[in-house]
Amino acid sequence: MDMETSWRFLRSVCLLSFILGSFSVYQTLCLVDAQEDAIVTLQVDASNVTRRPIPETLFGIFFEEINHAGAGGLWAELVSNRGFEAGGQIIPSNIWPWSIIGDESSIYVVTDRSSCFERNKIALRMEVLCDSNSCPLGGVGVYNPGYWGMNIEEGKKYKVVLYVRSTGDIDVSVSFTSSNGSVTLASENIIALASDLLNWTKKEMLLEANGTDNGARLQFTTTKKGSIWFDQVSAMPMDTYKGHGFRNDLFQMMVDLKPRFIRFPGGCFVEGDWLGNAFRWKETVRAWEERPGHYGDVWKYWTDDGLGHFEFFQLAEDLGASPIWVFNNGISHNDQVETKNVMPFVQEAIDGIEFARGDSNSTWGSVRAAMGHPEPFELKYVAVGNEDCFKSYYRGNYLEFYNAIKKAYPDIKIISNCDASAKPLDHPADYFDYHIYTLARDLFSKSHDFDNTPRNGPKAFVSEYAVNKADAKNGNLLAALGEAAFLLGLEKNSDIVEMVSYAPLFVNTNDRRWIPDAIVFNSSHLYGTPSYWVQHFFTESSGATLLNSTLKGKTSSVEASAISFQTNGKDYIQIKAVNFGEQSVNLKVAVTGLMAKFYGSKKKVLTSASVMDENSFSNPNMIVPQESLLEMTEQEDLMFVLPPHSFSSFDLLTESENVIKMPISDSYKKTSTM
Ligand SMILES: *[C@@H]1O[C@H](CO)[C@@H](O)[C@H](O)[C@H]1NC(C)=O
Ligand SMILES: *[C@@H]1O[C@H](CO)[C@@H](O)[C@H](O)[C@H]1NC(C)=O
Ligand SMILES: *[C@@H]1O[C@H](CO)[C@@H](O)[C@H](O)[C@H]1NC(C)=O
Ligand SMILES: *[C@@H]1O[C@H](CO)[C@@H](O)[C@H](O)[C@H]1NC(C)=O
Ligand SMILES: *[C@@H]1O[C@H](CO)[C@@H](O)[C@H](O)[C@H]1NC(C)=O
Ligand SMILES: *[C@@H]1O[C@H](CO)[C@@H](O)[C@H](O)[C@H]1NC(C)=O
Ligand SMILES: *[C@@H]1O[C@H](CO)[C@@H](O)[C@H](O)[C@H]1NC(C)=O
- What's 108's domain CATH number? 2.60.120.260
Counting Cα atoms < 13 Å in the Cβ hemisphere of 132 gives 3
Q: Does 187 contact ligand 4 (Cβ within 6 A)?
A: yes
Atom of ligand 2 minimally distant from the CA of 548 = 1
Ligand 1 within 6 A of CB of 48: yes
User: Do 632 and 493 lie in a common domain?
Assistant: no
Host H or E run for residue 174: strand 170-177
Sign of CA dihedral 209, 197, 289, 115: positive
The domain spanning residue 561 has which CATH number?
2.60.40.1180
- Owning domain of residue 315: 61-74+241-536
Closest Cα to atom 12, ligand 4: which residue?
A: 210
User: Which pLDDT score is estimated for 632?
Assistant: 81
pLDDT at 660: 47
- Position 663 scores a pLDDT of 45
Shared-domain flag, residues 47 and 182: no
CA of 574 to the centre of ligand 1 (A): 20
Compute the distance between CA of residue 385 and CA of residue 273 in angstroms, rounded to an integer.
Answer: 13
Helix, strand, or coil here: 353? helix
Residues 225 and 362 in one domain: no
Assess if residue 672 is contained within a domain: no
Q: Is residue 459 part of a domain?
A: yes
Question: Atom of ligand 5 at shortest distance to CA of 195?
Answer: 13
Do 233 and 246 reside in the same domain of the chain?
Answer: no
Residue 26 has pLDDT above 90, yes or no: no
293-347 pLDDT tens trace: 999 999 999 999 999 999 999 999 999 999 999 999 999 999 999 999 999 999 9
**pTM beyond 0.75:** yes
The pLDDT assigned to 42 comes to: 97
pLDDT for residue 656 is more than 80: no
Of the two residues 5 and 482, the one the predictor is more confident about is: 482
Integer Rg of the chain from CA = 29
Residue 592 shares a structural domain with residue 635:
yes
Give yes or no for residue 662 having a pLDDT over 50. Answer: no
pLDDT at res. 442: 97
pLDDT digits (tens, 9 = 90+) for 487-502: 999 999 999 999 999 9
Q: What is the mean pLDDT of residues 264-274?
A: 98
Reference 150, options 253, 80, 222; nearest CA is 80
Instruction: Give the Cα separation of 548 and 51 in Å (integer).
Output: 6
Domain co-membership, 557 together with 499: no
> Which bin fits 475, alpha (ψ -120 to 50), beta or left (φ > 0)?
left
Domain membership of residue 276 (yes or no) is yes
Q: How far is CA 432 from CA 285, 413, 559, in A?
A: 29, 11, 25
Report yes or no on 671 lying in a domain: no
Q: Is residue 333 part of a domain?
A: yes
- Whether 452 is in a domain gets the answer yes
Based on the domain organization, do 225 and 251 belong to the same domain? no
Kindly state whether residues 314 and 341 are assigned to the same domain: yes
Residue 292: CB atoms within 10 A of its CB come to: 18
Residue 668: predicted pLDDT:
40
Nearest of 261, 411, 365, 244 to residue 311 by alpha carbon: 244
pLDDT tier at 38, thresholds 50, 70, 90:
confident
Please identify, by atom number, the ligand 6 atom nearest to the C-alpha of residue 179. Answer: 13
Residue pair 499/415 in contact (Cβ under 8 Å)? The answer is no
Helix axes 248-255, 309-319, angle to 10 degrees: 50
Q: Is residue 453 part of a domain?
A: yes
195 lines ligand 5 (CB under 6 A): no
* 184 and 42 within one domain: no
**Chain segment 634-655, per-residue pLDDT in tens:** 666 799 999 999 999 999 999 8
Kindly state whether residue 595 falls inside one of the protein's structural domains.
Answer: yes
CB 50 near ligand 2, within 6 Å: yes
With 50 as the cut, is the pLDDT of residue 7 above it?
no
pLDDT at 37: 62
Mean pLDDT of the chain, nearest integer:
92
Confidence class of residue 657 from pLDDT cuts 50, 70 and 90?
low
Q: Is the pLDDT of residue 551 over 70?
A: yes
Instruction: Determine the Cα–Cα distance for residues 580 and 582; give it in Å rounded to an integer.
Output: 7
* Domain-terminating residue out of 184, 208, 237: 237
The per-residue pLDDT for 673 is 34
pLDDT at residue 81 tops 50: yes
Q: What's residue 15's pLDDT?
A: 45
Residues 558 and 623 in one domain: yes
pLDDT tens, position by position, 593-626: 988 888 889 999 999 999 999 999 999 999 999 9
383, β-bridge pairs = 326, 415
E strand or H helix at 547: strand 545-553
Environment class of 227 (CB within 10 Å of its CB; exposed 0-12, middle 13-18, buried 19+): middle
pLDDT in tens, 556-605: 999 999 999 999 999 999 999 999 999 999 999 999 998 888 888 999 99
Domain boundary among the residues 536, 571, 587 is at 536
360 lines ligand 7 (CB under 6 A): yes
How far apart CA 629 and CA 543 sit, in angstroms, is 25
The letter for the amino acid at 539 is T
Q: What is the rounded average pLDDT of the residues 118-129?
A: 97
What's the confidence (pLDDT) of residue 357? 98
Counting residues of the chain whose pLDDT is more than 90, the rounded percentage is 88
Residues 491 and 576 in one domain: no
Residue 600 CA, ligand 1 centroid: distance in Å:
24
- As for how many domains the chain has, the answer is 3
Q: Please give the average per-residue pLDDT across 52-67, as a whole number.
A: 98
Cβ-Cβ contacts under 8 Å for 113 (sequence gap 6 or more): 89, 91, 121, 122, 123
